[in-house]
């Protein structure tokens, strides 16, 4: 539909203009979704902005034929699994992957899960949404589900009720922080050794634990340390420190509050004028919050300046190029069994947390 006429697209035409022109040409046939960790250059073009859960929920209600997902690949995969027949999901960079999701390759997850279940316990897999579609499909197949940082506590509680133990993956930090929130004692969880296809799992320790944690972590949030909080408190006496639960448990414990992206946004919005808040999450979101609340006399500062290089792969140029070739660009596709089973796992989550 959108014809990119070379004489019109000179180097003088900004990427923003090209995006605007493509959006106008597609009209209701196009919806652009953007994750909070995207840069402002991208966020200004999106129709819907949100965290993983909010964007996953949005898919069902979208009538657009083309859904462009500005985020990382696992998010586009989830959108593809939840898309209506005939709806095409695209991502401006197929190589915008999440290093944490890649720490749990599906073949190894299945081998480890089977090794754990071979001990006679009904181990339920629960995958953080930051995982591949293949891993979500394993969760669907073995009676498990998916969670986000916003609903991890409700979903872990649900999963613990479904069987003898839960295999939580890939983020051990979110798993441990959620276990602490639910009051599970440390003796009830165990970080498993996933090497040698499950051959190195300490089965004795695993048999005693109700929560088995995959040893993955977010490359960004894992870099926040308690010393950053100490330094922040020294530099800004009275500062309120809020962090994302992908941070290590010792960081969460040293903070004044921890929660999902939506929680961090809400806390900044509800803070009183004059508040000084240090936020421990991806820098693009912290900058946006600082700008949004500056006029309300709130000071919002990054706990440490950390950006996700994979989220940053989505540039205005790539978005413009994708939109100009949307009718012929290959969409994100999944094998039918992966679509079916990952959708089953995602729909369980959406139903449980309706």
Q: Residue 233 or 318: which CB sits closer to ligand SF4?
A: 318
CB of 130 to ligand SF4, least distance (A): 5
Selected binder of ligand SF4 within 100, 113, 123, 124 (CB under 6 A)? 100
Say whether residue 308 binds ligand SF4 (CB under 6 A): yes
Q: Mask 240-279, x = binds ligand SF4 (CB under 6 A)?
A: ----------------------------------------
Say whether residue 282 binds ligand SF4 (CB under 6 A): yes
Say whether residue 215 binds ligand SF4 (CB under 6 A): no
Q: Which of residues 316-345 bind ligand SF4 (CB under 6 A)?
A: none
Q: Residue 41 or 188: which CB sits closer to ligand SF4?
A: 41
Burial class of 331 by CB neighbour count within 10 A (0 to 12, 13 to 18, 19+):
middle
- Determine the Cα–Cα distance for residues 108 and 54; give it in Å rounded to an integer: 29
Selected binder of ligand SF4 within 311, 334, 346, 349 (CB under 6 A)? 311
Q: Which of residues 27-46 bind ligand SF4 (CB under 6 A)?
A: 37
Q: Residue 87 or 284: which CB sits closer to ligand SF4?
A: 284
CB 309 within 8 A of CB 283: no
Say whether residue 310 binds ligand SF4 (CB under 6 A): yes
Q: Residue 56 or 100: which CB sits closer to ligand SF4?
A: 100
Selected binder of ligand SF4 within 38, 39, 87, 130 (CB under 6 A)? 130
Interface segment toward ligand SF4; rule CB under 6 A; list 22-30, 153-161, 181-189, 216-224: 216-224
Q: Residue 130 or 145: which CB sits closer to ligand SF4?
A: 130
Q: Which of residues 59-98 bind ligand SF4 (CB under 6 A)?
A: 72, 98
CB of 337 to ligand SF4, least distance (A): 26
User: Helices 133-141 & 73-82, crossing angle to 10 degrees?
Assistant: 50
Say whether residue 135 binds ligand SF4 (CB under 6 A): no
Selected binder of ligand SF4 within 146, 218, 258, 319 (CB under 6 A)? 218
- Determine the Cα–Cα distance for residues 305 and 309; give it in Å rounded to an integer: 12
Residues 6+ apart with CB under 8 A from 128: 100, 146, 147, 148, 149, 152, 168, 169, 170, 171, 174
CA dihedral for 223, 226, 229, 231, sign (positive or negative): negative
Selected binder of ligand SF4 within 106, 191, 203, 219 (CB under 6 A)? 219
Token code pair at residue 53: 């859960």
Selected binder of ligand SF4 within 67, 80, 167, 220 (CB under 6 A)? 220
Say whether residue 99 binds ligand SF4 (CB under 6 A): yes
Q: Residue 18 or 222: which CB sits closer to ligand SF4?
A: 222
CB of 101 to ligand SF4, least distance (A): 7
Residues 6+ apart with CB under 8 A from 141: 341
Say whether residue 105 binds ligand SF4 (CB under 6 A): no
Give how many residues touch ligand SF4 by CB under 6 A.
13
Q: Residue 264 or 308: which CB sits closer to ligand SF4?
A: 308
Which residues bind to ligand SF4, rule: CB under 6 A? Answer: 37, 72, 98-100, 130, 218-220, 282, 308, 310-311
């Amino acid at each position: 539909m959108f014809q990119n006429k070379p004489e019109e697209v000179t180097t003088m035409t900004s990427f923003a203009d090209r995006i605007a022109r493509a959006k106008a040409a597609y009209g209701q046939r196009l919806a652009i979704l953007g994750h909070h960790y995207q840069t402002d250059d991208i966020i200004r073009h999106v129709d819907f902005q949100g965290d993983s859960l909010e964007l996953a929920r949005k898919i069902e209600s979208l009538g657009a034929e083309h859904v462009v997902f500005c985020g990382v690949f696992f998010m586009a995969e989830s959108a593809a699994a939840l898309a209506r027949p005939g709806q095409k999901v695209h991502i401006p960079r197929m190589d915008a992957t999440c290093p944490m999701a890649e720490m749990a390759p599906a073949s190894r997850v299945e081998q480890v899960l089977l090794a754990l279940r071979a001990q006679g316990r009904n181990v339920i897999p629960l995958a953080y949404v930051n995982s591949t579609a293949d891993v979500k499909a394993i969760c669907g197949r073995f009676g498990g589900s998916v969670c986000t940082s916003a609903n991890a506590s409700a979903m872990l509680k649900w999963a613990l009720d479904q069987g003898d133990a839960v295999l939580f993956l890939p983020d051990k930090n979110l798993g441990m922080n959620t276990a602490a929130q639910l009051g599970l004692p440390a003796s009830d969880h165990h970080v498993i050794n996933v090497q040698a296809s499950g051959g190195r799992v300490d089965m004795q320790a695993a048999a005693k634990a109700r929560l088995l944690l995959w040893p993955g972590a977010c490359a960004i949030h894992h870099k926040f340390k308690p010393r950053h909080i100490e330094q922040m408190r020294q530099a800004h006496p009275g500062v309120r420190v809020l962090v994302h639960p992908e941070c290590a448990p010792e960081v969460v414990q040293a903070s004044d509050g921890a929660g999902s992206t939506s929680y961090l946004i809400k806390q900044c919005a509800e803070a009183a004028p004059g508040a000084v808040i240090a936020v421990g999450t991806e820098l693009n979101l912290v900058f946006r919050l600082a700008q949004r609340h500056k006029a309300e006399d709130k000071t919002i500062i990054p706990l440490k300046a950390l950006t996700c290089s994979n989220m940053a792969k989505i540039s205005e140029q790539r978005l413009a190029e994708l939109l100009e070739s949307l009718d012929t660009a290959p969409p994100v596709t999944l094998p039918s069994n992966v679509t079916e089973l990952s959708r089953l796992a995602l729909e369980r989550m959406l139903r449980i947390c309706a």
